[in-house]
Structure 1
Amino acid sequence: MEVLENIVKTLQSLLSSYIDLDYSMWLYRFLTPLIVTFLLPLVFVALIYISFLVLFIYKLHRQVIMRAVQTDRNFWRVGRKIVAAIWDAHARIYHGYEVIGLENVPQEGPALIVYYHGAIPIDMYYLNSRMLLQRERLIYTIGDRFLFKLPGWGTISEAFHVSPGTVQSCVSILRDGNLLAISPGGVYEAQFGDHYYELLWRNRVGFAKVALEAKAPIIPCFTQNLREGFRQVGIFRNFFMRLYNKVRIPVYPIYGGFPVKFRTYLGKPIEYDETLTPQDLQNKVATAIEDLINQHQRLPGSILLALLDRLPAFRRASSGIKKKVE
C-alpha cells in the first residue's frame, strides 16, 4: 500500500512539473461547449450513413429478406420502413417532433409540398418518415446535384426516390399520383438564411410551372425552430457567399444539432388555378409560407427559447401567434 502511494505521489509530482493542471481544467471546460456544438452535426451525418448501411444490407440480402416477408413483395418498401422507423424514433426522442396539418395531405393522388429549407433539411427526413409510417405514402424529393456525388447517397436516393429533378420529370412524378417535395430556395436558402426566416427564392418559378402543368395542388410547409436546430457561423458571410457562387456546393460552416422543439406545419392546399401565371403562383405560395412563419415562429429565433419549447408548461405559456420583430 505504501509503495502504491509513493508511485501516485511521484506521478503527481512529474505531471505537475510539466502541466498546469488548473489551466488544463479551465481550458477543458472552456472548449467543451465549442467542441460539442460543432460535433453534434456529425451525429446527423452518422445517421444518414446508418441509413445507407441498413439499405445496403437490405439490398445485399434482399432474397433472404423477401422470402421472410412474403406479404409485401415491393423491393424497397420494407427497407424504407426500417429506415423510417429509425428516423421517426430519433425525431420523437431528440426533437419532440410533431406534424400539424397532416390532414391537408391527400390520402391519394398528387400534391406538391413546397417547404422552407433550413441549414440542414432534417425536418423533411422526419416528415417523410412520419408520412411513410402513418399514411403509407412516400414523398418523392428533389435534391441538389452535389448530393449525388457523396458516397452512399446513390442507394439512399434509389430507395427514397430522391432526384435532381427537371420540370418534366417532376411533372411525371405528380401525374403518376405521387407526393413531391421541392424547396425553391434550395442550397442557397440553406446556406444563407438566418433566424429571421426570410425566403431566399431568387425568383425561382420552376416549382410553379411544375404544379401548373401537372394540375396539382401545392401544400405550403414550414418547420418551427428549424434554424435553431442548426445554424451557420455568423462571420465571413460575404466571403462564403462569393465562394458558393463560384463552386455551387455548400461551403458555409454549420454548427448546432441542438435538441430544440420541431413542429412541421402543413398549410391548406393551394388548388390548381389555370388563370394564374407561374409568377403569380410563386407569389401566392411564398405568401402562404410566410404566413405560416409569422403565425408559428418566434422572430428572431432563439435557441434558448426553442429548447424551452420542449417543456409543456412553457409551450402553453408561449402558444399563439409570435410577434415579428421589425
Structure 2
Amino acid sequence: MGLTPLPTLLAAALDVVGNSSYIDLDYSLWLYRFLTPLIVTFLLPLVFVALIYISFLVLFIYKLHRQVIMRAVQSDRNFWQVGRKIVAAIWDAHARIYHGYEVIGLENIPQEGPALIVYYHGAIPIDMYYLNSRMLLQRERLIYTIGDRFLFKLPGWGTISEAFHVSPGTVQSCVSILRDGNLLAISPGGVYEAQFGDHYYELLWRNRVGFAKVALEAKVPIIPCFTQNLREGFRQVGIFRTFFMRLYNKVRIPVYPIYGGFPVKFRTYLGAPIAYDESLSPQDLQVKVATAIEELINRHQRLPGSILWALLDRLPSAFRRRSDSLNLSNTQTKKKDQ
C-alpha cells in the first residue's frame, strides 16, 4: 500500500476541523464531564468565603446606620449586640440547612462565668462559627476567639473581629478575657493543624502549652471540643504535602489548597469540663486535655473519615446505627493496635 500524500492528510484534517458541530459537541461534552467535579470541589469553599464577607457587609451596614439602630440599644456597651444576632442567625440557618448541625453537651458550657474551650481545628474552622452562633442565639453568650495573625490582614476582617471579639491573643490578654468572666476558644493546633491534619484526625499541637498556661493562671475549667465529620466537609488536595509544609514554615500563612464544601453531617461534641488543678504543670494539663479530645474523636468519629458515610449521616436512623457500629468497631480496633 502506498503512503497517503501529505496534502490529502491536511485536507482531511481541515475537513474535520471545519465540521464545527461535530468537534464542538464532542469537545463540549468531554470538557463538561472533566471539569464539573473540579469546579464543584474547588469552588464550593468560596461559598463560605462569601458568607464571611456577607457577615462583614451586615456588620458594616449596622455600623454605618448606628444612630438609627442605637434606638434599639441603651448604651455603647451593647453597640454590637444587634449586629451579632443578625449574623448569628444567618450562620445558624446555614448550619441547620446545609450540615444538619447539632451540638451535643451544650450543658457543659456554664450559663455564666469563665471557661476555656479547646477545640480540634479543621481545614476551615466553620464549626466554631456555628457553635458561636448557637451560643449567641440560645444562651445569650459570646465566645471570644483566638485567631491567627494573618487573618487581620484580610480586608473586612477588622470589623468582624471587632464585633465578635476575635484577637491574635497573648497569654496575658487571654487571661484578662477569662478573668472578666467570658468564654474563650483556643485551638492549640492552629493553622498548622488546619493545613496538615487529615481524615485520621491526629492532633498536631507541636508541644504548644500556651493554652494550658492561660487556664492555670486564670484558674478556669477547660472544655474539650470536637466536631464530627469536620474533615469530610473540607479537605486538602493530598499531594505535594512536603512542599507545602516547607512553604508554610517559611511564610506562616495558609498555602495548602483546600477543596470540598460537602453537605456532610456536623455534630459538635463538648466534653465534660476539666477542672482547674493547681498541682498540674502546663505540660501535664496539655496531655490531659489532648487525651480528652482524642477520646471524643475515638468515640464519635469514624476513622479514617469517609465523605460518603458522612453524607449518609444526614439520612435517617438506620444509616446512623450502621455508622455508630462502624465507629465502635474502629475504636476497638485502634485500642487493640495500641
**Would the alpha carbon gap of residues 261 and 11 (structure 1) be closer, same or farther in structure 2, given more than 3 Å must change?**
farther
**Would the alpha carbon gap of residues 25 and 325 (structure 1) be closer, same or farther in structure 2, given more than 3 Å must change?**
farther
8 Å contact from structure 1 (residues 66, 73) kept in 2: no
8 Å contact from structure 1 (residues 219, 266) kept in 2: yes
**Would the alpha carbon gap of residues 250 and 10 (structure 1) be closer, same or farther in structure 2, given more than 3 Å must change?**
closer
Deviations, residues 54-107 of structure 1 (Å, cap 9, x unaligned):
000000001111224569971000000000000000000000000000000000
Q: Distance in 2 between matches of 1:152 and 1:88?
A: 21
Q: Distance in 1 between matches of 2:245 and 2:152?
A: 22
**Would the alpha carbon gap of residues 11 and 86 (structure 1) be closer, same or farther in structure 2, given more than 3 Å must change?**
farther
1:2 corresponds, among 7, 18, 30, to 7
**Aligned-residue offset at 1:3:** 36
8 Å contact from structure 1 (residues 299, 323) kept in 2: no
8 Å contact from structure 2 (residues 73, 79) kept in 1: no
8 Å contact from structure 1 (residues 223, 264) kept in 2: yes
**Would the alpha carbon gap of residues 145 and 314 (structure 1) be closer, same or farther in structure 2, given more than 3 Å must change?**
same
8 Å contact from structure 1 (residues 299, 325) kept in 2: no
- Could you say which residue in structure 1 is the equivalent of 2:327? none
**Aligned-residue offset at 1:323:** 8.6
Q: Distance in 2 between matches of 1:44 and 1:193?
A: 20
Q: For structure 1, which segment, 7-16 or 153-162, has the greater mean C-alpha deviation from structure 2 after superposition? A: 7-16
**Aligned-residue offset at 1:9:** 23
**Aligned-residue offset at 1:11:** 19
Deviations, residues 208-228 of structure 1 (Å, cap 9, x unaligned):
000000000000000000000
8 Å contact from structure 1 (residues 185, 201) kept in 2: yes
1:136 aligns with 2:140: yes
Q: SS of the residue aligned with 2:52?
A: helix
1:12 aligns with 2:15: yes
- Could you say which residue in structure 2 is the equivalent of 1:288? 292
Q: SS of the residue aligned with 2:77?
A: coil
Q: Distance in 1 between matches of 2:168 and 2:284?
A: 25
Q: For structure 1, which segment, 291-300 or 57-66, has the greater mean C-alpha deviation from structure 2 after superposition? A: 57-66
- The count of corresponding residues between Structure 1 and Structure 2 is 324
Query: TM-score by structure 2 length?
Result: 0.89
Query: TM-score by structure 1 length?
Result: 0.92
Q: Distance in 1 between matches of 2:126 and 2:55?
A: 13
Q: Distance in 2 between matches of 1:58 and 1:11?
A: 62
Q: Distance in 2 between matches of 1:284 and 1:245?
A: 28
Q: SS of the residue aligned with 2:103?
A: strand
**Would the alpha carbon gap of residues 18 and 262 (structure 1) be closer, same or farther in structure 2, given more than 3 Å must change?**
same
**Aligned-residue offset at 1:324:** 9.4
Cα RMSD for the two superposed structures = 5.1
Deviations, residues 27-47 of structure 1 (Å, cap 9, x unaligned):
202210111110000000000
**Would the alpha carbon gap of residues 30 and 69 (structure 1) be closer, same or farther in structure 2, given more than 3 Å must change?**
same
Q: Distance in 2 between matches of 1:193 and 1:38?
A: 18
User: Structure 2: any 5+ residue segments left out of the alignment?
Assistant: 1-5, 324-330
8 Å contact from structure 1 (residues 299, 324) kept in 2: no
Deviations, residues 131-164 of structure 1 (Å, cap 9, x unaligned):
0000000000000000000000000000000000
**Aligned-residue offset at 1:320:** 11
**Would the alpha carbon gap of residues 315 and 324 (structure 1) be closer, same or farther in structure 2, given more than 3 Å must change?**
farther
Q: Distance in 2 between matches of 1:137 and 1:3?
A: 79
Q: Distance in 2 between matches of 1:308 and 1:50?
A: 30
**Aligned-residue offset at 1:13:** 12
Deviations, residues 276-315 of structure 1 (Å, cap 9, x unaligned):
0000000000000000000000000000110000002311
Question: How do 1:303-318 residues align onto structure 2 when only pairs under 5 Å count?
Answer: 303-312=307-316, 313-318=318-323
Q: Distance in 2 between matches of 1:276 and 1:298?
A: 32
Q: SS of the residue aligned with 2:194?
A: helix
Aligned sequence identity (%): 90
**Would the alpha carbon gap of residues 240 and 115 (structure 1) be closer, same or farther in structure 2, given more than 3 Å must change?**
same
Q: Distance in 2 between matches of 1:154 and 1:2?
A: 67
**Would the alpha carbon gap of residues 18 and 265 (structure 1) be closer, same or farther in structure 2, given more than 3 Å must change?**
same
Question: How do 1:167-316 residues align onto structure 2 when only pairs under 5 Å count?
Answer: 167-312=171-316, 313-316=318-321
Q: SS of the residue aligned with 2:191?
A: helix
Q: For structure 1, which segment, 99-108 or 310-319, has the greater mean C-alpha deviation from structure 2 after superposition? A: 310-319
Q: Distance in 1 between matches of 2:15 and 2:111?
A: 69
Q: Distance in 2 between matches of 1:2 and 1:80?
A: 72
**Would the alpha carbon gap of residues 169 and 208 (structure 1) be closer, same or farther in structure 2, given more than 3 Å must change?**
same
8 Å contact from structure 1 (residues 259, 307) kept in 2: yes
User: Structure 1: any 5+ residue segments left out of the alignment?
Assistant: none
**Aligned-residue offset at 1:23:** 2.7
